[in-house]
Structure 1
């Protein structure tokens, strides 16, 4: 038996209870060291729809911990591993628990550059941010006269995207609704300018004067539409979230007249090779000090209360759930 945040059905919030190891499936058993709280986790923990596909289920889309036993050739007892997405907390039992069973093929060794807790702090948010930066670079992004815009900059993925972009030599503008509160922290991460998100959403035409060489967007809606309107010709937007809205109130004009690309970032179903590549880049480019700067920590039994801030739009940075 072990403790976990268990979601009984689609109508009720998760409960913190003891469950049996017999319910777990996967070729690799992990003693969980830590997990984290993402927006998806907040929805699941508070009984909101749209995340969990199979009931009942243990919540948690991230897990970091020590291998207890494994049938997979890559892992042996004592290995410290981490996993983001891959169906955890959606279709498969997740990481907000004392134990987890996962597919060994999806695991990545915790890089030596990070502690296990830092790996959890990076989690899906940092993994997604790295996928977004990689996608922009694959589209031809180079340091240019215009900065890269990061929306939702106060969130975990936005904060880590700022750090990654700045480390790679890009000028970064951070957009947030909490300029006074978060401005100093975002500049410490590498942003050269911090603006209010309403300044991005102010565009009322499909195309406006260009301001951004590229965009990392986690909010959608009018803010994404405004960002598209001000992106350079042949620029790109990496879109990974919908914190403001899933709508996109724009036209095809920026895409066919400026050749702008909208790149969707899916951090759930990612190949093993791409997972390893993303974590290698994170280990090389992401400052552990920056990870610590944006991280707070709660215990496993406090996860549901800590998740409430995300649902209220008050979440900042990353929240690690310390398990053992």
Structure 2
């Protein structure tokens, strides 16, 4: 079983775990709800998820090559510490040390978007001659850059595209994440409609497709702001490939057409070829698990 790694994709809503083989195939998947209110309870859920995967596979932890773990926010990869997240209670939490105290196998820790980027890049051929960008639009917005086979990390906080400041018409102002993430779309719709219970992103986008005037305004503004974010990425990096993932895009791939329509006028003619290099993920929710697993090998 050393041809398998145990992968974890840890978020503020859920913890996903699975075995991943060297070809990127996932099996024995398990999911548990996150407990973001308390750090030890949250860690206990992670341990439970690992044990569920091992039990389903009917193997011992010594039978795997190691564990790959993706967590949100800033991480210290060398020290194995989850430094900062806005949706988990793990301020400077020693994830790797704590896991190794229970499971005596190698543990690789990285940011969850980097893990998903690695999964997408690997399954797309793992070209070391390109600049590859993975952009997630989900609970938050962020991107990860792989240039000639290596991550571009800067001083440690590179890729936080969601922090980009946006000034749009009609007084719309704030960070890209505050306008175009899933929770932002829900919150802005709720502010206009005042419905109990509130709207889900799926409901807002469905209403947009049906011509609902408020939903149309909310989604069009979100798409317009995402286009500005993509314009920044293209102008700065001119990537060979851009893959869009996260719940908002993978559940609504039809938004890519709208996004390209908003993006095209922002580009000069020499940049128009970039429109054909943008696609929506085909790995859907497994990208983070696949990347985390493959990083072990």
Normalising to structure 2: TM-score of the pair? 0.35
Normalising to structure 1: TM-score of the pair? 0.33
Higher helix proportion, which one? 2
